[in-house]
């Protein structure tokens, strides 16, 4: 059991104790313990083996014993025991925005609510308004939150499905039974959430391929099986559809099962206009004789007089017309990325040092990073006071002396206060190489006030870019209401950058708006919002989203080479 898993269990215990109405001090001890474990630099198993855990500040006798039990046995009796006392539905309630453990406990105690359905019903009946600690606003927000959760029920963030899908594809490939195997469906198009995993394989022995597939270690159970199709559930609960075709049909089937439905419909329409009929089996002339042969999807598009359309943009938003005229964008790729902004370190709520971040970025082939810890009003995230800023600046300068051809820029993620001002005086803001301005509080302002707030932040001459512009958390909460058209227009007029936050829960700015930003000439920065060196890897999800938004390297701020970036940030 590693650090992360132990920290997660301790946090969960803290939450459950709150739900059960135990003393707040007890919960806090577990939360603090979790954070301490997360920040440990020493190997935890080693510490347990040498019985040195107690020496770590914040780990008392009770925690020490529990962590030892977890490390040594992989289980914790205490955890199992209290988990039994908490109705499982309460964990769903915690996913509703605005509902923390304390409020969930009140709902449970006063109204006996233990499921999302019961909560929805109670909101509709106005039962929350008079509860202590609640009110009309909380009730409205909870109801909206439930409806959002319901709409998205049964969907997964695509990175989770992608990891599983890749393992399945590799497993099938290793069997040697299939000629070609590919991910298809929304996952291949990299939509932010997916309902299921679609996999397409070709080969002469479909039965053997399906047998092999059902034996792969992640496949929990097969739900249905036909002569060329198999539906299964993975142990993580995600559904998979496998289709098997003749190898000659593979390109047509791959196009068909990649979708989207809207793209497919438009493609069929186009083919019809040319005197063809297309489906998952091939391209047919009007007389319906055998299909045209295509070696791959490239040839398929070519046959229909089109440039190859990358899967990410197959959403029928003009890609077919552009492909016809040979004006498809050359979509940005990972290798185009030259540096990484929006990185949190141990100075605020990150768990890696500046040096660890730099090292990892260099391994990733980057030429620069931009450190941006939280600003002072983000007290909940250990925001930097002015003296911390100076201390951090010194460390960055020292490290910069050590590298050749790699640079660390000193920035800040400054909170945008309710009125749109930032939370450091001008002279402090001016001293940074770059400033990311983000909203982290007061999400419930009305659309007009929120829009003015963001516009005013962009107008601050020290602001380089706007962070996660809508604050959405995919599958958890909708973004705050804001007139993005006006925000982007403002950025365009002032030459400001907008972030595409690459955290898979955010992907904010949404790819649909990225395309609009590009049209208006606003550069987008693909930022991982990393809180650990591992988190830098999230940049790949941002690249996927940028591609869906039709962005090219020239549209992406962090595709700018180091020398030019130094000039831009006035550090040359
Ligand atoms: P999802 O699963 O909701 O995340 O989205 P998709 O796009 O993966 O949808 P899915 O799994 O139902 O189907 C995969 C692809 O197969 C879809 O993008 C297009 C194609 N497809 C499936 N059913 C139909 C259909 O009834 N008509 C057409 N034209 N295409 C279909
Ligand atoms: Ca699908
Ligand atoms: Zn942020």
- pLDDT the model gives residue 147: 85
- DSSP string computed for 314-341: -SSSSHHHHHHTT----B--GGG--EEE
Residue listed under structure tokens 């039974």? 177
**Domain-wise residue ranges, the chain:** 3-150, 157-324, 334-571
Taking only the tens place, the pLDDT of each residue in 270-317 is 999 999 999 999 999 877 678 899 999 999 999 999 999 999 999 999
SS3 (DSSP) at 17 = helix
Measured CA to CA, the distance from residue 353 to residue 382 in angstroms comes to 15
- pLDDT the model gives residue 288: 67
- Between the CA of 415 and the centroid of ligand 3 the distance, in Å, is 8
- pLDDT the model gives residue 315: 98
Taking only the tens place, the pLDDT of each residue in 101-128 is 999 999 999 999 998 888 998 888 788 9
CATH architecture, domain 157-324: 2-Layer Sandwich (3.30)
Of 230, 198, 228, nearest to 213 by C-alpha is 230
In this prediction, residues 414-434 reach a mean pLDDT of 95
Q: Do domains 3-150 and 334-571 have the same CATH topology?
A: no
SS3 (DSSP) at 312 = helix
What pairs with residue 375 in β-bridges?
384
The preferred substitution site among 156, 184, 186 for testing ligand 1, maximizing ligand atoms within 8 Å of CB, is: 186
**Residue nearest atom 20 of ligand 1, based on CA coordinates:** 257
Measured CA to CA, the distance from residue 314 to residue 263 in angstroms comes to 6
Of 547, 68, 98, 495, nearest to 319 by C-alpha is 547
Is the Cβ–Cβ distance between 416 and 457 less than 8 Å?
yes
Measured CA to CA, the distance from residue 367 to residue 337 in angstroms comes to 9
**Residues near ligand 1 (Cβ within 6 A):** 185-186, 194-196, 198, 256-257, 259-261, 264-265
State percent of the chain over pLDDT 70: 100
State percent of the chain over pLDDT 90: 83
In this prediction, residues 363-370 reach a mean pLDDT of 98
Residue listed under structure tokens 């770590």? 56
* Beta-carbon contacts of residue 558 (< 8 Å; ≥ 6 apart): 337, 338, 339, 340, 341, 525, 526, 527
Helix-then-strand count for the chain, H and E: 24, 16
| The CATH number of domain 334-571, selected from 3.20.20.140, 3.40.50.300, 3.40.190.180, 3.40.50.261 | 3.20.20.140
- Between the CA of 247 and the centroid of ligand 1 the distance, in Å, is 21
CATH architecture, domain 3-150: Orthogonal Bundle (1.10)
SS3 (DSSP) at 212 = helix
**Residue 514: HSE in the Cβ half-sphere, 13 Å Cα cutoff:** 30
Choose between 349 and 372: higher pLDDT.
372
SS3 (DSSP) at 187 = helix
Taking only the tens place, the pLDDT of each residue in 328-342 is 999 999 999 999 999
Taking only the tens place, the pLDDT of each residue in 1-38 is 888 889 999 999 999 999 999 988 999 999 999 999 98
pLDDT at residue 42 greater than cutoff 90: no
pLDDT at residue 92 greater than cutoff 70: yes
Measured CA to CA, the distance from residue 161 to residue 192 in angstroms comes to 11
Measured CA to CA, the distance from residue 328 to residue 301 in angstroms comes to 13
- pLDDT the model gives residue 572: 59
Taking only the tens place, the pLDDT of each residue in 502-560 is 999 999 999 999 999 999 999 999 999 999 999 999 999 999 999 999 999 999 999 99
Considering only the C-alpha atoms of the chain, give the largest distance between any 2 of them, rounded to a whole number of Å.
82
Measured CA to CA, the distance from residue 185 to residue 554 in angstroms comes to 29
- Between the CA of 256 and the centroid of ligand 1 the distance, in Å, is 8
Element (H, E) at 223: strand 219-225
- Between the CA of 351 and the centroid of ligand 3 the distance, in Å, is 15
- pLDDT the model gives residue 213: 97
- Counting other chains too, the contacts that 263-267 makes at CB distance below 8 Å and 24 or more residues apart are 263/314, 263/315, 263/316, 263/319, 263/320, 265/316, 266/316, 266/320, 267/304, 267/320
Measured CA to CA, the distance from residue 453 to residue 455 in angstroms comes to 6
Taking only the tens place, the pLDDT of each residue in 465-478 is 999 999 999 988 88
Of 194, 199, 200, nearest to 238 by C-alpha is 194
CA 201 to chain centre: 28
Is the Cβ–Cβ distance between 528 and 340 less than 8 Å?
yes
Is the Cβ–Cβ distance between 572 and 533 less than 8 Å?
no
**How does residue 229 score in pLDDT terms, banded at 50, 70 and 90?**
very high
The preferred substitution site among 154, 185, 263, 474 for testing ligand 1, maximizing ligand atoms within 8 Å of CB, is: 185
Measured CA to CA, the distance from residue 484 to residue 470 in angstroms comes to 8
Taking only the tens place, the pLDDT of each residue in 163-204 is 999 999 999 999 999 999 999 999 999 999 999 999 999 999
| Residue-averaged pLDDT of the chain | 94
CA 262 to chain centre: 25
What are the tokens at 11?
Answer: 């946090």
Identify residues whose C-beta is under 5 A from ligand 3, the ion. Answer: 438
């Amino acid at each position: 059991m590693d650090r992360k898993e132990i920290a997660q269990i301790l946090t969960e215990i803290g939450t459950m104790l709150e739900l059960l109405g135990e003393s707040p001090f007890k919960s806090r001890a577990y939360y603090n313990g979790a954070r301490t474990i997360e920040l440990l630099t020493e190997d935890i198993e080693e510490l347990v083996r040498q019985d040195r855990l107690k020496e770590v500040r914040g780990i008392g006798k009770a925690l020490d014993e529990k962590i030892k039990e977890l490390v040594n046995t992989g289980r914790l009796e205490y955890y199992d025991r209290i988990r039994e006392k908490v109705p499982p539905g309460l964990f769903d309630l915690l996913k509703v925005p605005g509902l923390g453990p304390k409020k969930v406990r009140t709902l449970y105690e006063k109204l006996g609510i233990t499921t999302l359905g019961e909560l929805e019903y109670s909101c509709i009946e106005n039962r929350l308004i008079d509860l202590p600690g609640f009110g009309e606003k909380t009730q409205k927000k909870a109801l909206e939150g439930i409806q959002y959760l319901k709409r998205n029920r049964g969907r997964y963030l695509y990175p989770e499905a992608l990891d599983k899908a890749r393992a399945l594809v590799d497993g099938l490939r290793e069997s040697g039974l299939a000629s070609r195997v590919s991910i298809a469906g929304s996952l291949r198009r990299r939509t932010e959430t997916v309902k299921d995993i679609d996999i397409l394989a070709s080969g002469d022995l479909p039965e053997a391929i399906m047998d092999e597939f059902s034996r792969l270690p992640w496949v929990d159970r097969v739900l249905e099986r036909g002569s060329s199709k198999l539906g299964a559930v993975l142990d993580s609960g995600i559904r998979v559809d496998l289709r098997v075709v003749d190898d000659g049909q593979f390109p047509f089937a791959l196009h068909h099962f990649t979708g989207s439905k809207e793209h497919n419909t438009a493609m069929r329409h186009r083919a019809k206009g040319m005197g063809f009929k297309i489906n998952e089996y091939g391209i047919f002339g009007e007389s319906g004789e055998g299909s045209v042969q295509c070696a791959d999807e490239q040839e398929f598009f070519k046959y229909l007089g089109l440039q190859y359309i990358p899967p990410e943009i197959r959403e029928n938003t003009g890609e077919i017309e552009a492909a016809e005229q040979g004006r498809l964008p050359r979509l940005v790729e990972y290798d185009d990325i030259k540096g990484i902004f929006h990185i949190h370190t141990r100075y605020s709520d990150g768990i890696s040092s500046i040096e660890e971040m730099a090292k990892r970025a260099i391994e990733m082939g980057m030429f620069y990073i931009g450190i941006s810890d939280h600003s002072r009003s983000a007290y909940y995230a250990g925001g930097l006071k002015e003296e911390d800023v100076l201390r951090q600046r010194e460390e960055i300068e020292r490290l910069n002396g050590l590298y050749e051809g790699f640079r660390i820029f000193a920035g800040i993620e400054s909170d945008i206060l309710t009125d749109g001002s930032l939370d450091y005086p001008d002279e402090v803001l001016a001293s940074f190489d770059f400033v990311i301005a983000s909203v982290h509080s007061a999400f419930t302002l009305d659309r007009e006030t929120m829009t003015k707030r963001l516009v005013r932040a962009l107008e601050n001459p020290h602001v380089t870019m706007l962070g996660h512009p809508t604050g959405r958390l995919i599958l958890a909460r909708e973004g705050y209401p804001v007139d993005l058209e006006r925000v982007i227009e403002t950025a365009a007029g002032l030459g400001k950058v907008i972030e595409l936050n690459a955290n898979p829960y955010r992907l904010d700015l949404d790819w649909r708006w990225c395309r609009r930003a590009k049209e208006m000439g606003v550069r987008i920065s693909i930022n991982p919002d990393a809180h650990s060196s591992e988190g830098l890897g999230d940049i790949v999800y941002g690249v996927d989203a940028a591609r869906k938004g039709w962005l090219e390297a020239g549209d992406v701020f962090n595709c700018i080479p180091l020398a030019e970036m130094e000039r831009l940030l006035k550090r040359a």
